[in-house]
Chains A and B, each alone.
Chain A
Amino acid sequence: EPEVTQTPSHQVTQMGQEVILRCVPISNHLYFYWYRQILGQKVEFLVSFYNNEISEKSEIFDDQFSVERPDGSNFTLKIRSTKLEDSAMYFCASSESGAEGYTFGSGTRLTVV
């Protein structure tokens, strides 16, 4: 069964550093997403990406965040100047047709120290 692959599975970074979280969506999917889940809280939408541009973003997704599809397979989330409160599980997802039929990756646990 096709999978969404995320790397690394766990990332520890110093406060103020930049991190890049990587995702390989399912090859025939056109919609890509990043969500995050702070420990014990809801899974929250960050950003959606379609046709090589951001289609929607939440209030959380401010200038500290950016996404990129640098080649035909990878989809990355960059977090600049990380803060303690950025510590969370970050999930990448992809779908063929918008919100229906998401496939999530296993997540990257980001710990900012």
Chain B
Amino acid sequence: GENVEQHPSTLSVQEGDSAVIKCTYSDSASNYFPWYKQELGKGPQLIIDIRSNVGEKKDQRIAVTLNKTAKHFSLHITETQPEDSAVYFCAASRGANNLFFGTGTRLTVIP
């Protein structure tokens, strides 16, 4: 089955700096890669996703890049703000049904 690895497990950045979180996946058939943000006491919330026919996608301060050959994808957050502090999860799917999640990254933005 699919195995998704995520790094780093914790990340602290100064407000205004950029944050990058990286994930790798094992199943070359995976074709859908969402990123979720989980705040304390809440469920994961979809923040951006990318499909395998696209190499990069951007939504304001958030961008995701995908390298299908190397089987890795990354989340980039620019101009970080304190409200970006949360746990971020990457995931991979064949698009049909269930998601395979990474282990999560706890991002702390220091004011």
Contact = CB atoms under 8 A, between A and B. Distances in A.
Our verdict on whether A and B bind, yes or no, reads yes
Interface in B63-111: 89, 91, 93-104
Interface in B1-53: 4, 32, 34, 36, 41-46, 49
A6 B44 CA distance: 13
Interface in A29-49: 31, 33, 35, 41-45, 48
Can you list the 4 inter-chain pairs with the closest CB atoms, starting with the nearest?
A104-B43, A99-B93, A45-B98, A43-B101
Contacts of B94: 99
Contact of A99 (B4, B44, B96): B96
The majority secondary structure among interface residues of chain A is: strand
Contacts of B95: 98-100
16 contacts: A42-B103, A44-B101, A45-B98, A45-B99, A48-B97, A58-B98, A98-B97, A99-B93, A99-B94, A99-B95, A99-B99, A100-B34, A100-B49, A102-B34, A102-B99, A107-B42
Contacts of A104: 36, 43-45
Classify chain B: how many residues form its interface, as a range: 20 to 34
Classify chain A: how many residues form its interface, as a range: 20 to 34
Residue picked from A33, A44, A100, A101, most chain B C-beta under 10 Å: A100
Contacts of A44: 101
Contact of A55 (B43, B44, B97, B100): B97
A4 interface: yes
A48 B44 contact: no
A106 B104 contact: no
A41 B97 contact: no
A91 B97 CA distance: 16
Contact of B96 (A45, A93, A98): A98
A100 to B, nearest CB: 6
A56 interface: yes
Interface string A1-28: 0001010000000000000000000000
Given A42-B104, A102-B46, A106-B43, A33 B32 contact: no
Contact of A106 (B42, B91, B102): B42
